[in-house]
Chains A and B, each alone.
Chain A
Amino acid sequence: MATTLVDNAALFTILSSLADNKQAIGRRYAFWCNGAPALEAAVAAAAMTQDELGHARTLYPLLADFAQGQDDLSQLDPMTRTLHHHLAYLDHDFRGWSDFVATNFLLDTALTTFFEAAQNSSYEPLRQRSRKIVQEERVHFMHAEGWVRRLAKAGGAVRATLIASLQRLWDETLCWFGPQDDPIMLRLYNEGIIDAMPDELRHRYLHKIMPILNELDIDVPVEFDATTKRWMPGQTLPWETWGVLARRTGET
């Protein structure tokens, strides 16, 4: 029986990016399964690796249902895929444990913010996966929050290294949601696949992480509009080097 293919380039792009980022996060985390600062943290890293790779494995099969995926079937399987639409930050091994913590705290939380916006999605496969992923990510955020606090409070070189990791990932993570007029996010929003546009997603994301960074006196370029009670980037994001399809910097 012939199956009707979904014809939606915007959704295909976002699902590819989500899957590639989850896959890359899992692979980077895997290195730390026996290298974390404590045995307990190493076991937690192993569990989080499995979770992230599991998220990727539930997302990749969806790509096969799209008309946009039929031209090159090798791109639908992580084993044969040569396109890597994950953040440039994940191109290389983590420099240290602080990169693990920064990825969990910043990037994974940003992806979770997207999944939260898709929990009532009109696209059922994403709706189902989003609810499950959001549930699992609660534990990851506890881990992220706990380790950001520990490294920041350790002071000295430990704190400086954490801040350097956060700074290197900061802009690219905020860019991932896209500019406010991003045609991909606009289509997803108009079709009820997500319930917010990029600026609102960024606000929700910053609303989640900023109380922790403020409490720890970690300075990042953001602004809070006291009148509208909304968070926003404090400086222009590097859109000139950001690619809307690959959703990563270093594209132009």
Chain B
Amino acid sequence: MTSIKTDAAQATGERGRREALNESRVWHVFARRKYEEPLHEIGNVMADDVELAQVYARSIYDEFSWVEMVLVPRDAIVMVIAS
């Protein structure tokens, strides 16, 4: 039988594990299919480091054979006119 105390400790541990692995940084994904086209935003991914952000962007937005794809971290964007 599992005690309430053990259950609580497990729940805290599980919460801690989830919090430790939560992605918190947002990356905007820009891509283009032809060289004569401009880059346009196709979506975003969440990842705490740039390497994983690159892997996620490639695997999630793989519906076209892009000629170029770039990532911009949301926290690097400077707001000029707020919506």
A positions within 8 Å CB-CB of B: 37-38, 40-41, 43-44, 46-48, 139, 142-143, 145-147, 149-151, 154-158
Contacts and interface: CB of A to CB of B under 8 A. Distances in A.
Given A43-B59, A44-B56, A156-B16, A37 B51 contact: no
12 contacts: A38-B21, A40-B45, A40-B52, A40-B56, A41-B52, A43-B56, A44-B60, A47-B59, A142-B52, A146-B55, A151-B21, A157-B13
A242 to B, nearest CB: 33
B59 A150 contact: no
A143 B20 CA distance: 18
Contacts of B20: 154-156, 158
B47 interface: yes
B6 to A, nearest CB: 15
Given A38-B46, A40-B60, A150-B48, A139 B55 contact: yes
Contacts of A40: 23, 45-47, 52, 56, 59-60
A122 B56 CA distance: 36
Q: How large is the interface on B (under 10, 10 to 19, 20 to 34, 35 or more residues)?
A: 20 to 34
Most chain A beta-carbon contacts within 10 A, residue among B20, B23, B48, B55: B55
B1 to A, nearest CB: 23
A143 B52 contact: yes
Contacts of A157: 13, 17
B16 A142 contact: no
Contacts, number: 62
Contacts of B47: 40, 146
Contact of A158 (B17, B51, B54, B62): B17
B41 interface: no
| Interface residue SS majority, chain A | helix
Contacts of B22: 38
B55 A44 contact: yes
Contact of B58 (A41, A139, A154): A139
Interface in B4-60: 13, 16-18, 20-23, 45-49, 51-52, 54-56, 58-60
Contacts of B48: 150
Interface of B: 13, 16-18, 20-23, 45-49, 51-52, 54-56, 58-60, 62
A132 B54 CA distance: 19
Contacts of A38: 21-23, 46
B58 A37 contact: no
B21 A43 contact: no
A150 B48 CA distance: 8
Given A40-B23, A47-B62, A150 B49 contact: yes
Contacts of B59: 40, 43-44, 46-48
B58 A149 contact: no
Contacts of A48: 59
B55 A143 contact: yes
A40 B53 CA distance: 9
B54 A142 contact: yes
A142 to B, nearest CB: 4
A154 B49 CA distance: 14
Per CB-CB distance, the 6 closest pairs between chain A and chain B, nearest first, are A146-B52, A154-B20, A47-B59, A40-B56, A146-B51, A44-B59
